[in-house]
Structure 1
Amino acid sequence: MFRGMTRYPSFSQTKEPTMDNNKKFPVVCQCLKVLNVLDYRSIFQDHRSKKLFAGSTIGLHVVAQLLQLKSYGELSEQLQAHTELAQILQLDSISASQLSRKTKSLCTSSLLALFTHLAAELHSQTHHLQGVSKSIGRLQVIDATSISLPLFLGEWAKCSDKKCGVVLHTRVMVASPDIVFPNKVIASTAHVHESTVAMELIQSDDTTYVMDRGYSKFKHFETWLKNDVRFVIRLREWDRMFPVEGTERATPAESPHILRDVDVLTTKTKTPMRMVEYMDEQGRLYRVGTSRWDISAAEVADIYKNRWLVELFFKWIKQHLHVVKLFSKDPTAVWNQLFLSLIAYTVHMLITLELKTTKSPWTTLKLLRIYFYDNWSNFVKAVSRPPSRTSKGRQKTNKTKERLGSQRIIVR
């Protein structure tokens, strides 16, 4: 971002995001207060602006993501339909074309800095959580997800004759089984391989990094082992592993799915790592390499199973935020919208943590959308309201299932 070149403090210098105690404030006001950038001005992007500044543009896009609006036109109509939003942002009306031009002019590195700032606040509020379990600790899962672009408009992101797209290389923190949030993201075009950015997503700390086969690279193993990085990574089928003599460990009788536990070397490593082979419930064989000798082989297998939490995160943001269908196909606008969607996710998670609710993030987001222009107190009551139905309802018996399965219906 442009440090020292704004008339207002940079994102890293702003106060920590907080909630307001005034329960009569509308929910949208509380969301934008957590964001805390409405007064942000950029000397480059805003030097000729009269009413639509960088901070208010970011706020508008976060509103669009939380409400899952589909276009700049719908976002413009929100200002016309809800005077409270217009008053908060100090905007009476903005056209779709103005929003489009302003989005393209936003500084992408500033948005990345804002996302990093909010992710750090999430980390601060969840540092007391023990992760998956006390023995395993906190995990950081690394993976990538792709967003396709049309061939004609996405020519700048072309990676083959039939495909154009961008990729979000993401590291998510697993603070607990229910609290998962991204804390580092690298965006690229689709032809950039995962292993190219793997070293930028990993650092030496007290968490365990979990990765799939796409990040399996022998020279990385040696670096991680020498730097005492905790990791669990799935090995590729063709990766040759050479067992170290005398390191074979007996498989526990209470964990029959564990097939092998041994230290191994590769053709390019001199420092041994631990390899665990296990079978999943569907009978598929997994080989994972790890630097964790302090836990059991079954716990190593459990760590890799938690890799699917990043897949659930990708599924969540694609279904519930506006990530798949982008407002614009301009390169800068694409990068900006992707980072703005991640900013909206962190704002939503900060609100969820503030409420201390046991409801799922999706349930909280649905209620937030319903009460978005209502008072904060009404939203809190809705989130705190116990379920009206406690029973599981009438359960289907085997006879019912057989009867339903035997029906044959043809409509011609």
Structure 2
Amino acid sequence: MRHHNSVFHQIQKHVPWSVFDQLVDEHKADYRVRRLTTKSQFLALLFGQLSGAVSLREIEAGLSSQQSRLYHVGGRSVARTTLAEANANRPSAVYSGLFAHIAVSASRRTRRHIKDAVRILDATRIELSSLRSGWADMVSSHRAIKLHVCYDAQAQAPLTVNVTGQKTNDITPAKAMRIEPGMTYVFDLAYYDFGWWAELHAKGCRFVTRLKSHTRLEVTAEQPLPEGNRAILADRIGLLPQRMARSRKNPMADPVREIEVRISTGKTIRILTNDLDAPAGEIADLYKQRWQIELFFKWIKQNLRIRHFLGTSENAVRIQVFVALIAYLLLRLAQACQDTVSQPLAFTRLVRLNLMHRRPITELRQPERRPSAHQHQMVLL
């Protein structure tokens, strides 16, 4: 009979375990640990994400019921109290570092086109309804965190993620982010900072964003409108105001381009870019790609376990968020290795239903094959 690993084991093959071990050593995550190693903690939490478990009790019960198969994937059953203690005390930097490494790998391996890489910036708020600690910001009697994401539009996966309190302005993590020369960055009005735009421009990056209604552009040239595209209302080149707030000099002194676009709701928006040559329709389409990250936020909130948190401490919340994002990347990498299931949601559901089954991940849509027996082996019907 041909041997197959479980679907859970096949998903794990995309984890860079050597990097994981380095991170564990670097942060001394297993220092004086007697029972539950950091690897066992990670596998338990990853099992919870992929199986859809919403509580520590569910993870404990699920692992216990699959105990005979855990040995082959390097995992073990775990008591919920032990897992809760590990989530509270193990350094979350292990998981944020692992996510960062896998994100770069996923970006390279799942990107559809190498040319014209696009980065989309945005943030989303996640409410911490069960939080009892006071570490998170409270706004209108609600505690929440923010996920600040740099999203690879071609790979359809997050590239960098920062977790902050909900009061943190979106532009703050963006300014601390490493700028990749030559990239195209797309973002909305939350990143309205002329100084940061100037940094992008100086490093040879193209940016596409919105221009506020009260910001006046000193027009220096009017561009001809594209034929057959009634959504483009104006295309002009000009200069931004020389002074910013508090009479500071605007560092973005080079010409920029404003394109007025009528969107599907009938509203007119002002799109701004430092690309003076690309067709107006291309710039408008680039800004439209920003909806990809909105769909990503919606997907992870609906299909990953980040709405109900397993712990109340900041460390436990950070660990759960990054393990959820790691699960997303592993699913993307596993899906890219097969061609029978094209929709991410359908693939995720099939993985969930077959997580501990021993079958090829390329045959999840097909009926499970009956094990073939040797000619001299007795078969029980």
What is the TM-score with the length of structure 1 in the denominator?
0.80
Q: Does 1:210 align with 2:192?
A: no
SS in 2 for 1:156: coil
Q: Choose from 285, 289, 298 the match for 1:306.
A: 289
Determine what percentage of the aligned residue pairs are the same residue: 25
Distance 1:240 1:138, change over 3 A: same
Cα distance 1:376–1:235, how it changes in 2: closer, same or farther (>3 A)? farther
Is structure 2 residue 149 aligned with structure 1 residue 170? yes
Deviations, residues 79-109 of structure 1 (Å, cap 9, x unaligned): 2101244313555532111001111222222
Structure 1 residue 222 displacement after superposition:
2.0
Q: Give 1:44 deviation, angstroms.
A: 3.3
Q: Does 1:255 align with 2:239?
A: no
1:222 lines up with 2:198 in the alignment: yes
C-alpha contact 1:359 1:383 (8 A) present in aligned 2? no
Q: Does 1:157 find its partner at 2:136?
A: yes
Contact 2:130 2:308 in 1 (8 A): no
Q: Which residue of 1 aligns with 2:14?
A: 34
- CA distances 1:297-326 after superposition (whole Å, capped 9, x unpaired): 011111111100000000000000001111
Task: Summarize the alignment of residues 311-390 of structure 1 with structure 2, pairs less than 5 Å apart.
Answer: 311-357=294-340, 359-377=342-360, 379-383=361-365
Matched, 1:232 2:211: no
Unaligned runs of 5+ residues in structure 2 are 242-249, 368-381
**Displacement of 1:112:** 1.3
Secondary structure of the corresponding residue to residue 100 of structure 1 = helix
> Can you list the C-alpha shifts for 1:93-148, whole angstroms capped at 9, x where unaligned?
32111001111222222211101111121122135x227xx7xx332111001111
- C-alpha distance 342-206 of structure 1, shift in aligned 2 (>3 A): same
Q: Structure 1 119/214 Cα, relative in aligned 2: closer, same or farther at 3 Å?
A: same
Change in Cα spacing, 1:250 to 1:154, as seen in structure 2 (3 Å) is farther
Query: Is 204-213 or 94-103 further displaced after alignment?
Result: 204-213
Residues 1:68 and 2:52 are matched in the alignment: yes
Q: Report what 2:94 is aligned to.
A: 110
What SS does structure 2 have at the residue aligned with 1:302? helix
1:291 matched to 2:274? The reply is yes
Alignment CA distance shift 1:196-1:28 (3 Å): same
In structure 2, what is the equivalent of residue 392 of structure 1? none
Contact 2:132–2:312 under 8 Å retained in 1:
yes
Counterpart-to-counterpart distance in 1, 2:189 and 2:68: 49
CA distance in 2, matches of 1:287, 1:207: 22
1:186-197 equivalence runs, <5 A:
186-197=162-173
Which stretch shifts more, 219-228 or 190-199? 219-228
Against the structure 1 CA distance between its residues 72 and 351, is the aligned structure 2 distance closer, same or farther, given a 3 Å change threshold? same
Aligned residue identity for 1:113? G
What residue in structure 2 maps to residue 101 of structure 1?
85
Counterpart-to-counterpart distance in 2, 1:264 and 1:325: 49
Once residues 131 and 62 of structure 2 are traced to their aligned partners in structure 1, the CA distance between those partners, rounded to angstroms, is 31
User: Is 1:180 matched up with 2:156?
Assistant: yes
The one-letter code sitting in structure 2 at the alignment partner of 1:313 is F
Give yes or no for the alignment of 1:145 onto 2:124: yes
Q: CA RMSD in A?
A: 2.3
**Is the CA contact 1:355–1:380 (under 8 Å) kept in the aligned structure 2?**
yes
Letter of the structure 2 residue corresponding to residue 372 of structure 1: L
Q: CA deviation at 1:32?
A: 2.1
Q: 1:159 to 1:228 in 2, by over 3 A?
A: farther
Q: Does 1:265 align with 2:247?
A: no
CA contact (8 A) 2:232 2:280 kept: yes
Q: Deviations over 1:35-82 (max 9, x none)?
A: 243983547332332331011211211111111210111111112101
Letter in 2 for 1:140: R
Distance 1:30 1:204 in 2: 33
Equivalent-residue separation in structure 1 for 2:231 and 2:140 (angstroms): 43
Q: Which whole-Å CA distance do the structure 2 matches of 1:91 and 1:125 have between them? A: 27
Aligned position for 1:279: 262
Tell whether 2:68 aligns with 1:79. no
What secondary structure does 2:208 align onto?
A: strand
**Does residue 25 of structure 1 match 2:1?**
no
RCO higher in 1 or 2 (8 Å CA, sep ≥ 6)?
2
CA offsets 1:301-360 (integer angstroms, 9 cap, x no match): 111111000000000000000011111121111111111111111111110111134521
Give the CA deviation at 1:206.
3.6
Once residues 266 and 78 of structure 1 are traced to their aligned partners in structure 2, the CA distance between those partners, rounded to angstroms, is 59
Instruction: Report the residue type matching 2:36 in the other structure.
Output: L
For these two proteins, the number of residue pairs brought into alignment is 353
The aligned residue for residue 56 of structure 1 is: 40
Give the match's secondary structure for 2:271: strand
Structure 1 173/92 Cα, relative in aligned 2: closer, same or farther at 3 Å? closer
How far, CA to CA, are the matches of 2:301 and 2:222 in structure 1?
Answer: 44
1:36 & 1:375 partners in 2: Cα distance?
22
1: distance between equivalents of 2:102 and 2:75? 25
Contact 2:240 2:256 in 1 (8 A): no
Aligned counterparts of 1:130 and 1:83: Cα–Cα separation in 2: 42
CA deviations on 1:235-266 (whole Å, 9 max, x unpaired) are: 222333222x2x21011221111011112222
Conserved? CA contact 1:258–1:276, under 8 Å:
yes
Residues 341, 347 of structure 2: 8 Å contact kept: no
Q: Is the 8 A contact 1:115 1:343 kept in 2?
A: yes
